[in-house]
Structure 1
Amino acid sequence: MYFNKIVRFSGYHYGKKIRLFSNLLLIILGNCFWLLSGKLAGASEIIDISDREVLLRELSTELKQISEVEKSQRLLRRTSDETPRRRKTLKDSLRVAQGNARQDTTEPTLTVGKNNTAEDSNYLYSDLEISTDSESETSNSLKQVTNVDRLRDVSPGDWAYEALRSLVDRYGCIAGFPNQTYSGSQPLSRYEFAAGLNSCLNQIERLIASSEAVQREDLDTIKRLNAEFATELATVTERVDSLENRTAFLEDNQFSTTTKLIGSVWLNLTGAAADGDVLVETNDLSVPLFLRPPGRDPVTGEPTVLEVTDNPEITLSDLVWLTFETSFTGEDVLTTRLVVGNGDSPANVFASAGTYNTFGIPFTDQTAGLQGEGNSEIVIQDLSYNFPVGDNFRIVIGPQINWYAYFDNNAYTYFLTGASSFNSIGSSLSNAIDRGSGAVVMWDISEKLKLNIAYLGESTEFLPSPPFNTASNPDEGVFGGTNTSTAELTFSPTDTVNTRLMYNYSHLNADVNVVGGVIGGVTGEPLQNGLADAGAGRGLDVNPNDGGLKDSFSHTIGFNFDWEIAPKFGIFARYTYASITLKPIDRTVNVQSIQAGLAFPDVGKEGALGTFSFLIPFDVTNGEEFLVSGAGDGGTQYEFELTYFYPVNDNIALVPAFYLVSNPNNFDENPNIYVGNLRMQFNF
């Protein structure tokens, strides 16, 4: 085996200084021992190397590293599994060389096969640097190697000097530098030394190709040199052992803390219009849209219904996300997201009480702070820490974890590139907590099967506290207030098919923001598209300020999938069913949502995506008598959405979208609502 690399780490001082001649000798011994090593104990006059092809491939690999010789520090970043292999190679070379030197043989001759060429066997010793005497014993850097004429420890008259020069002259172990001069009075730089080694090794290749023989006197010389410098050879082995330990330490600790900024900016031009007057369930149209209160007729007990007669004006809004991702080990991520926006989308004008930011609303046409106020308030939307546990688990903990980053995903409804409205980017029945305090556990069971589990207490940036954001309220905390538990199993049988089965359990406190004693609304999934009270005779018809409920418990089951049937065609779908138990009346409301769509990747341009989505966001199957908002006249609202994501370049995209909403607010007699949105998107 050929002599391996001896490498210097700048910044480290080795206590023993190796005499300059001894170190250079190690280079020559490495070449010569490799050339001479074989089964010398045999009786044959000529020994063949049978594994020539394998050896030549190894040597060729070494030659490709010559360009890195000037960068010895790069060795510190090489994979940890490479160092033991190299150490073993070096030890094997020394052991074979020493063993060969001690054998007492009868005038052997070593002949190498005749079919090798320089092109077949490029090899070298790279990244090589050996210490010399320095002015200070405590120097942190090693001097450059010098050439043969400057070997101060061995005089020209010494036998070792003459033996070394004889080997060099006979076998061309050092054949000179690229300019064909030896530069005997000049020190060698790493570049020159590497070039010299390359010349030497090229010369050895020519010897191999021409089947040159090695005679006994040279074997005797190598034996004597080995015995004379056995201490130095042992020192080299010790240095390699130390090198392995130092390399492993530096590889484990080389990562520096880094923070990456991911920015997204959206500009939204949005308009909405209806074919006629739109019926909405509320008892006051004069208040801000987000604060529209529900009510019941004190005589009939039926929900209060008013009409919206005017179409809203076109709006231009913005939304900015600045996400800072910090890693401390290279495998973990601390996420901090700052958000500011001023959106209040026009279609909210047509929404019943509690259904703000549901149908006909582009997801990025929203505010960042308290909903409905339309002011530019900077808030923290996501603050979480993601880290690995073993090979197959990751855990996310934090006071504001984004639930949608880990659940109910779909390749064609991701809001940045796919379907774009609030109702279509995810199930309209999950989750009651957009952001929450708690933890998420992600388990990669296999390549095709993954399981995510989460528990979150309410901590949402756009809700007032109190009564919301109970996780930070000492009176309720993470476990006593509104909270959800979620489990989702993802099965991906192929690269083009993903299926997800989700279960969600929610405990919701009654809303006391607008009126007390009601459950649901935009933060009340699975009653996102409605509000529930205790019903006629016990609800808002009896007390307009208290709907009679204290809290609720719900069970939600969802299924969603995406399938890329062909390179430019895919399908997607969602189905969600939920059962909500109202407390303290112990009555149940059951609802479902349905979505199905087509996707057209790369339509018009590579990276583009067109989607067509049909959905029923909120279909009441049982308990509509407890809905003070959202049940309408028993009709079923359905929506059609067409979105086209067009990337102008890697950082800018234009996204036009059109929504058609039929039977809005679940009133059969309501006219259609039309929504148009043009989004300009910047990512950096």
Structure 2
Amino acid sequence: MAAPAVLGLLTPNAAAAAELNLERVNHYARSQEQVTSISQFTDLRPSDWAYQALSNLVERYGCVAGYPNGTFRGGQAMTRFEAAALLNACLDRVTEVTDELKRLMAEFEKELAILKGRVDGLEAKAGELEASQFSTTTKLSGLATFVVGGVSNNPAGEQVTFNYDLQLNLDTSFSGKDLLRTVLRAGNFDGDRNAFGGGLSTLEIAFQEEGGPDMVGIDKLFYQFPLGQSPIGGQFTATIGGRVGQEDMLALWPSAYPSDTILNVLTLNGAPLAYNKNLGPGFGLWWQDNGWSVSANYVAANGADSSQGLFSSTSAGTSTVQLGYGQENWGLAAIYSYIDAGVGVPGATPFITTQIEENDVNTNAFGISGFWQPAKSGWIPSLSAGYGVNGSSGSDLRTSQSWMVGLQWSDVLAEGNSFGMGVGQPAFATATRNGAASESGVWAWEWWYQWQLTDAISVTPAIFVLNNPGGNGGGANQFGALIKTSFQF
């Protein structure tokens, strides 16, 4: 009989009776991985002292469970509750009760009763949670950001302000491969009143709800799903949404900078017109295979307005095509965007912004961007860089260009902390009609340090300098300083 060996396995010296490893208890109690032959265990040898006893348990009663990787782990200690679960699994398969089995049952009578009560209680709680949970297919995540700081020589004011941005992301999957994303957002970065919400000093997280500050609104709502394999290999993925961003429909984002965003102009891959993050009704398709990707999409900011439509000349649409190649540590992409009049372009001088948003100006925007990052943290930083050149037709704007370089060091001073700096020029006019504008010397610099307090909380002090942000050569430079605190949940 195998019972003596089982008694040896179930000695109280293994662990105190009060300990309960629910995962291992359920493993034996449910007996989902019962084996039919002792040879199925890769870590058991005939020379092991309990080999014959375990062989008897397997062959005569079939009540020994292994681990998914084919091991038994006989040298691993177990608690008396786990031992009781093993005994209970064996008793369910035993038809003849011998004296030794009676002794085992008496020995663990107390643990078996407690175990049954606890398992019944857990099953009841699990059933109650499942019945009352929000959704079995939806995951909720959030990001709350506080910003305290100010900007000198800014038309919106020079006072120190306290602003916030809140994002709630609901990701739903119906098949395990698709994604329905809903983003609820609120903030109080009012561009007319706040230095961090307008112009080149705008922060990347500075959300402005159309209904006004402190109003919760739908920031994103789109559905993404696979279309299957292409005839030449690779996978197609489609996206359609009533409120989707251009960046949501790109298979590759060609930048590793920054881990914690500061100025919006330095997060647009050096080509802020091509990567304008236009937001509205739209649709797109991308193809990926062995690092290569091709993305094509269309977004119309006014596509929900029946007086302007989805495809009219006043729909404020952006049509984008991107070719990219990326691996774990590096990536490169070339992009082309056709920008209709009325699109709100970020990261540009006031002259260009006015020309595209308010005048009948259409723009062909080109960009090339890439990144490289070391395999391990150290003195060598990650490098991200990009360049954009644009040609416009109509009104006074003809050509413009832009570029950026971003460096980021990981694990600076402490593991998990990062330091970064970025420099570049926003989109500025290089040629105009009738001498409408002469823009030069427009620069943006930023330095920041991300202090990771916990996995969910980070504090990022940052400073930035904007040289000639008005683009007319007569405006004063701007200096900004802030402390950003982020909470992920």
Q: Same fold (TM over 0.5)?
A: yes
- The answer on 1:560 being equivalent to 2:370 is yes
Q: CA RMSD in A?
A: 4.0
Q: Closer, same or farther in 2 for the Cα pair 1:436/1:599, shift >3 Å?
A: same
- 1:653 maps to which of 450, 458, 462: 458
Corresponding position of 1:265:
144
- The answer on 1:486 being equivalent to 2:352 is no
Corresponding position of 1:530:
351
Corresponding position of 2:236:
393
TM-superposition CA deviations, 1:462-508 (whole Å, max 9, x none): xxxxxxx2x11223322222222222233224x32222222222223
User: How far apart are the structure 2 equivalents of 1:625 and 1:526?
Assistant: 24
- 1:679 maps to which of 477, 484, 489: 484
User: How far apart are the structure 1 equivalents of 2:144 and 2:353?
Assistant: 36
The alpha-carbon deviation at position 593 of structure 1 amounts to: 0.6
- 1:622 maps to which of 412, 417, 431: 431
The alpha-carbon deviation at position 411 of structure 1 amounts to: 4.8
Q: Closer, same or farther in 2 for the Cα pair 1:563/1:530, shift >3 Å?
A: farther
Q: Closer, same or farther in 2 for the Cα pair 1:531/1:595, shift >3 Å?
A: closer
Corresponding position of 1:116:
46
Q: Closer, same or farther in 2 for the Cα pair 1:525/1:359, shift >3 Å?
A: closer
2:411/2:417 contact within 8 Å kept: yes
Q: Secondary structure at the match of 2:483?
A: strand
Q: More strand by proportion, 1 or 2?
A: 2
- 2:165 maps to which of 319, 343, 356: 319
- 1:368 maps to which of 171, 191, 209: 209
The alpha-carbon deviation at position 524 of structure 1 amounts to: 3.7
2:238/2:285 contact within 8 Å kept: yes
- The answer on 1:508 being equivalent to 2:326 is no
TM-superposition CA deviations, 1:215-242 (whole Å, max 9, x none): xxxxxxxxxxxxxxxxxxxxxxxxxxxx
Map 1:154-173; keep pairs closer than 5 Å.
Answer: none
Q: Secondary structure at the match of 1:359?
A: helix
Corresponding position of 1:435:
279
Corresponding position of 2:296:
453
- The answer on 1:590 being equivalent to 2:399 is yes
TM-score with structure 2 length normalisation?
A: 0.69
Corresponding position of 1:68:
27
Q: Closer, same or farther in 2 for the Cα pair 1:611/1:532, shift >3 Å?
A: closer
Q: Secondary structure at the match of 2:247?
A: helix
Code of the residue aligned with 1:662 in structure 2: it is N
Map 1:561-580; keep pairs closer than 5 Å.
Answer: 561-564=371-374, 567-568=377-378, 569-580=381-392
The alpha-carbon deviation at position 379 of structure 1 amounts to: 0.9
- 1:475 maps to which of 288, 295, 307: 307
Code of the residue aligned with 2:390 in structure 1: it is A
Q: Closer, same or farther in 2 for the Cα pair 1:588/1:668, shift >3 Å?
A: closer
User: How far apart are the structure 2 equivalents of 1:179 and 1:400?
Assistant: 69
Identity %: 19
User: How far apart are the structure 2 equivalents of 1:672 and 1:492?
Assistant: 38
Q: Closer, same or farther in 2 for the Cα pair 1:526/1:425, shift >3 Å?
A: closer
Q: Closer, same or farther in 2 for the Cα pair 1:505/1:596, shift >3 Å?
A: same
Q: Closer, same or farther in 2 for the Cα pair 1:176/1:323, shift >3 Å?
A: same
The alpha-carbon deviation at position 439 of structure 1 amounts to: 1.9
The alpha-carbon deviation at position 364 of structure 1 amounts to: 2.5
User: How far apart are the structure 1 equivalents of 2:187 and 2:354?
Assistant: 32
The alpha-carbon deviation at position 331 of structure 1 amounts to: 2.4
- 1:384 maps to which of 197, 222, 230: 222
- 2:442 maps to which of 613, 620, 637: 637
Q: Closer, same or farther in 2 for the Cα pair 1:437/1:365, shift >3 Å?
A: closer
The alpha-carbon deviation at position 69 of structure 1 amounts to: 4.2
Code of the residue aligned with 2:452 in structure 1: it is P
1:562/1:573 contact within 8 Å kept: no
2:151/2:195 contact within 8 Å kept: no
Q: Secondary structure at the match of 2:487?
A: strand
Q: Closer, same or farther in 2 for the Cα pair 1:411/1:552, shift >3 Å?
A: closer
The alpha-carbon deviation at position 605 of structure 1 amounts to: 2.1
Q: Secondary structure at the match of 2:209?
A: coil
Map 1:417-436; keep pairs closer than 5 Å.
Answer: 417-426=259-268, 427-432=271-276, 434-436=278-280
The alpha-carbon deviation at position 410 of structure 1 amounts to: 4.9
1:457/1:482 contact within 8 Å kept: yes
The alpha-carbon deviation at position 444 of structure 1 amounts to: 2.1
2:272/2:345 contact within 8 Å kept: no
Q: Closer, same or farther in 2 for the Cα pair 1:608/1:656, shift >3 Å?
A: same
The alpha-carbon deviation at position 67 of structure 1 amounts to: 7.4
Code of the residue aligned with 1:530 in structure 2: it is F
User: How far apart are the structure 1 equivalents of 2:354 and 2:410?
Assistant: 44
Q: Closer, same or farther in 2 for the Cα pair 1:145/1:567, shift >3 Å?
A: closer
User: How far apart are the structure 1 equivalents of 2:336 and 2:101?
Assistant: 72
User: How far apart are the structure 2 equivalents of 1:602 and 1:312?
Assistant: 34
The alpha-carbon deviation at position 334 of structure 1 amounts to: 1.3
TM-superposition CA deviations, 1:347-396 (whole Å, max 9, x none): 9669xxxxx723122223443335xx5x2111100101122233623222
The alpha-carbon deviation at position 624 of structure 1 amounts to: 5.5
The alpha-carbon deviation at position 268 of structure 1 amounts to: 1.0
Q: Secondary structure at the match of 2:299?
A: strand
Corresponding position of 1:600:
409
The alpha-carbon deviation at position 406 of structure 1 amounts to: 4.3
Q: Closer, same or farther in 2 for the Cα pair 1:663/1:258, shift >3 Å?
A: same
Corresponding position of 2:110:
none
Instruction: Count matched residues.
Output: 392
Q: Closer, same or farther in 2 for the Cα pair 1:390/1:342, shift >3 Å?
A: same
Q: Secondary structure at the match of 1:606?
A: coil
Query: Can you give the 5+ residue segments of structure 2 that lack an aligned partner in the other structure?
Result: 1-23, 38-44, 66-90, 107-112, 116-134, 230-234
The alpha-carbon deviation at position 679 of structure 1 amounts to: 0.9
Map 1:330-349; keep pairs closer than 5 Å.
Answer: 330-344=176-190
Q: Closer, same or farther in 2 for the Cα pair 1:147/1:348, shift >3 Å?
A: closer
Q: Closer, same or farther in 2 for the Cα pair 1:128/1:442, shift >3 Å?
A: farther
User: How far apart are the structure 1 equivalents of 2:226 and 2:306?
Assistant: 31
User: How far apart are the structure 1 equivalents of 2:335 and 2:414?
Assistant: 34
